[in-house]
């Protein structure tokens, strides 16, 4: 079953009397359990497409289905519920609240959730443990490295058991090792059955995905299967050997 299915999706921004087309008839399908990368130059429509996939923006026309649900005509409350229940977001700049702890950041999505209150802290601690940050639960973001902050963001993205992860340049602000560690986490989530859509401009990062969707000028230029996927765990092991 397709986790994401777009049919002839168009997005036009209006600036006064001027129309600026950002997406020009995008059609694509990503099956449940896939790991796909969306690539293309600046201005090709990657961010617009990600916002529509994340139900943060609406297309001007066309069909958008997430997990079999047509979302293009949903109301604001329905879209908010869908985002909270089915989609996890990972951003390049982490988007953590700096005045609260890592644990409290992970628990933020519960504010709009029916998740049992008595189990919320345990769930958040479980996820921090899974990303290697159990001992940092009560640290604030400014007390954490960039890679640790992105781990907190991943834990937060997973808190409501989403079916789809949308990652926007998830290693863009990280050093090489931290970037590989984040990719290893994403690859592990994918092996567990999570559907991942990652936006990147970096071909090396895109090679960790199973397929790459190339955008240009608001259109799908081509889709290609990655025949020899890069594996972050292998690259980390080689890096350790070089440094030892």
pLDDT of 69 > 80? The answer is yes
Q: What is the pLDDT of residue 66?
A: 95
Residues constituting the chain: 244
In the chain, what percentage of residues exceed pLDDT 90? Answer: 73
CATH class name, domain 33-56+75-243: alpha beta
Q: 151: pLDDT confidence band, cut at 50, 70 and 90?
A: very high
b/e for 108-143, b at 16 or more Cβ within 10 A?
bbbeebebeeeebeebbbebbebbebeebbeebbee
More confident residue, 157 or 16: 157
182 falls in which pLDDT band (50, 70, 90)? very high
Does the pLDDT at position 172 exceed 90? no
Would you place residue 146 in the very low, low, confident or very high pLDDT band (cuts 50, 70, 90)? very high
**How do residues 114-141 score in pLDDT, each as one tens digit?**
888 889 999 999 999 999 998 999 999 9
Q: Please give the Cα distance from 150 to 160 (Å, whole number).
A: 17
Tens-place pLDDT, residues 22-59: 999 999 999 999 999 999 988 899 989 999 999 999 99
Q: Where are the alpha helices (DSSP H) in the chain?
A: 46-53, 76-86, 102-107, 117-130, 146-158, 176-191, 203-206, 232-243
Instruction: Give, in order, the Cα–Cα distances in Å from 14 to each of 22, 23, 76.
Output: 10, 13, 21
pLDDT at 244 > cutoff 80: no
d(CA 213, CA 37): 6
What residue ranges do the domains of the chain occupy? 33-56+75-243
**Which region among 27-36, 72-81, 150-159 has the lowest average model confidence (pLDDT)?**
72-81
pLDDT tens readout for residues 187-231: 999 999 999 999 998 898 999 999 999 999 999 999 999 999 999
CB-CB contact of 63 with 9 (8 Å): yes
- What beta strand segments (E) does 16-106 contain? 18-31, 35-39, 61-66, 69-70, 87-90
């Amino acid at each position: 079953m397709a986790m994401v299915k777009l049919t002839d999706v168009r997005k036009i921004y209006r600036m006064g009397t001027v129309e600026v087309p950002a997406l020009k008839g995008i059609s694509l399908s990503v099956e449940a359990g896939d790991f796909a990368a969306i690539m293309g130059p600046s201005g090709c429509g990657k961010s617009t497409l990600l916002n529509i996939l994340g139900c943060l923006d609406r297309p001007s026309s066309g069909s958008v289905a997430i997990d079999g649900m047509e979302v293009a005509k949903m109301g604001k409350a329905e879209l908010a519920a869908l985002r909270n229940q089915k989609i996890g977001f990972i951003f390049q700049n982490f988007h953590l609240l700096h005045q609260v702890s890592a644990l409290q950041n992970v628990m933020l999505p519960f504010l709009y959730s029916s998740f049992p209150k008595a189990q919320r802290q345990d769930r958040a601690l479980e996820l921090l443990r899974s990303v290697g940050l159990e001992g940092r639960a009560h640290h604030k973001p400014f007390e954490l490295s960039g890679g640790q902050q992105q781990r907190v963001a991943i834990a937060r993205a997973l808190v409501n058991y989403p079916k789809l992860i949308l990652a926007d340049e998830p290693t863009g602000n990280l050093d090489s090792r931290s970037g590989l560690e984040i990719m290893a986490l994403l690859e592990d989530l994918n092996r567990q059955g999570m559907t991942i859509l990652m936006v990147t401009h970096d071909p090396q990062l895109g090679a960790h995905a199973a397929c790459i969707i190339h955008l240009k000028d608001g259109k799908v230029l081509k889709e290609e299967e990655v025949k020899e996927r890069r594996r972050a765990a292998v690259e980390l092991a080689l890096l350790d050997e070089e440094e030892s």
